[in-house]
Amino acid sequence: MSLYAGMFFCDVDGTILPHGQREVSSDFFSLVHEAKKKGYLFCISSGRFHLSLLPLFEQVKDEVVFSASNGCRILYQGQELLPNHTIQTSDARQITNDLLSLGAIPLLSGKKAIHLPFSALEQEKSKGYLSKGFTQTFDAFSDIDDEILQITGVCRQNKAAILNQSRKTWAARYHVVTTGKELFDICPTSKGESLLAISSYFGLSRQNTYAFGDDENDIPMLGAAGKGYLMGTAHETLKAQEFEHCHDVVGTVNAILLQ
C-alpha cells in the first residue's frame, strides 16, 4: 500500500509556466506544500534538461520528483530515482548528422551537459543555449564523454518537413514528438512511460494519478494518468483528444485536494 494519496504530473512550459512567463508563481509553490500536507506528491515532467529545471523549482526541489528529458532522467531529492534511458551511441551519431543535413540544430541532452555541434554555432538560435551555462560544444561526435538521453531538433524553418523526415527514419525505434513551435524531441522513452514507472515506484494506483500538459509530448502522459488535463492554450489539433480542458492548474489541483 502506498504512503501517498496520489500524485500530480505537471508539464512546465505552457502548463506550470504559461507561455511568456519565466518564473514559477508563488501560488504553485504554496500548492506543492499544501498537497504534501494532504499526502500528495508532485512530479515536474518536462522535455527540458534537468539542470534547467532545478533553478526554477529551487523552493521545492526536495519535495518534488523531477522527470527531465521526457522521462529519460528521473531525480528525487538529488538522487536518481530510476535508471536512465539512453540513445544508442551509433544512433545518436546518425541522428545528429541527419538533423544537421536537414538544416536543424541538434541539441544532445546528456547526464552532464547539453552538447551542441560546433558547426551550429553560426546559427543565431544556438547562442541562447550556450548562454545558459550548461551547454558544451563538440567538433567530432567522439569528443562527447557522456550518455545521450535525448536529442532535440531546433528548426528555424521547415520544421514540418524536418519532423516528417525524422519520423520516417526514427519513429520505429524512438519517440519523435513536437515540444514547441520550433522544437521536436527524439527520445527513447515517453512521459507516459515515466508516469507509470514513477507511480509504480511509489506504489500508486493509476486512478490516483493526475496529469497536466499542453503539447504533443504530453499526450502519452495524459493518457497514462487516471485523469489527464489538456491546457486550454494547447494547439487546436490536440483538442480532438478526449481530455478535460484546464485553464488553471493551481485551481484544478486545489479542487482535487478538496474532494
Q: Cell numbers at residue 209, please?
A: 494519478
Number of domains in the chain: 2
* DSSP H or E stretch at residue 34: helix 26-37
Q: Which of 136, 156, 187 is the last residue of a domain?
A: 187
Q: Which of 187, 213, 237 is the last residue of a domain?
A: 187
pLDDT at residue number 235: 84
Instruction: Tell whether 148 and 235 lie within a shared domain.
Output: no
Instruction: Tell whether 78 and 204 lie within a shared domain.
Output: yes
Q: Cell numbers at residue 159, please?
A: 520544421
For 210-243, the pLDDT digits (tens) are: 999 999 999 999 999 999 999 998 888 888 888 9
Q: Which of 130, 161, 187 is the last residue of a domain?
A: 187
Sheet holding 183-187, edge to edge: 135-138, 114-117, 105-110, 148-154, 183-187, 175-178
Domain range holding 116? 89-187
Instruction: Tell whether 69 and 97 lie within a shared domain.
Output: no
pLDDT at residue number 204: 97
* DSSP H or E stretch at residue 210: strand 209-213
For 239-258, the pLDDT digits (tens) are: 888 899 999 999 999 999 99
Instruction: Tell whether 124 and 47 lie within a shared domain.
Output: no
Instruction: Tell whether 64 and 138 lie within a shared domain.
Output: no
Residue 156 has pLDDT above 70, yes or no: yes
Q: Is the residue at 165 inside a domain?
A: yes
Residue 123 has pLDDT above 70, yes or no: no
Whichever domain contains 205, its CATH number is 3.40.50.1000
Residue 124 has pLDDT above 60, yes or no: no
For 63-72, the pLDDT digits (tens) are: 999 999 999 9
Instruction: Tell whether 115 and 179 lie within a shared domain.
Output: yes
Q: Is the residue at 160 inside a domain?
A: yes
> Model pTM?
0.94
Instruction: Tell whether 63 and 123 lie within a shared domain.
Output: no
